[in-house]
Copies of this chain bind each other. A is one copy, B any other.
């Protein structure tokens, strides 16, 4: 009870996320891609192509915002949108080879940002933190 704020995860995680945002912002400074571009490419590469609505659900990005991010990635040649032959309302999104390449460059930066953020923790503690945070996400997001 002495330090309420340090005992409330709701508060703590917001603070840490704010700091994380700054750190990743520094790493991506001057790079035309952002956190969300990284997330989209990573999801497409690691988990395969997806229909936009699925992809939005997977990443918990608003379907509306996803349109914009995909527009940007498509314009840069990093993803492709193809109409689903089985249901022409849908568009299947996939990463291009150039997208895979840029993802790997971005991942280096994101990894560096992680190292920065996690500097106070040992390797073991980092793993524990990842595992615990992961369990807080709804199943469909994993």
Contacts and interface: CB of A to CB of B under 8 A. Distances in A.
Contacts of A129: 9, 129, 132-133
A117 B10 contact: yes
**Consensus secondary structure, chain A interface:** helix
Contacts of A18: 60
What's the number of copies of this chain in the assembled complex? 2
Interface string A86-122: 0000000000000000000001001101100110110
A16 interface: yes
Given A4-B42, A128-B128, A120 B142 contact: no
Nearest to A107: B4
Interface stretch (A20-28, A63-71, A74-82): A20-28
A39 to B, nearest CB: 6
Given A35-B14, A129-B132, A132-B125, A137 B19 contact: yes
Contact of A20 (B1, B13, B19, B142): B13
Interface of A: 1-21, 23-24, 35, 38-39, 42-43, 45-47, 59-60, 107, 110-111, 113-114, 117-118, 120-121, 125-126, 128-130, 132-138, 141-142
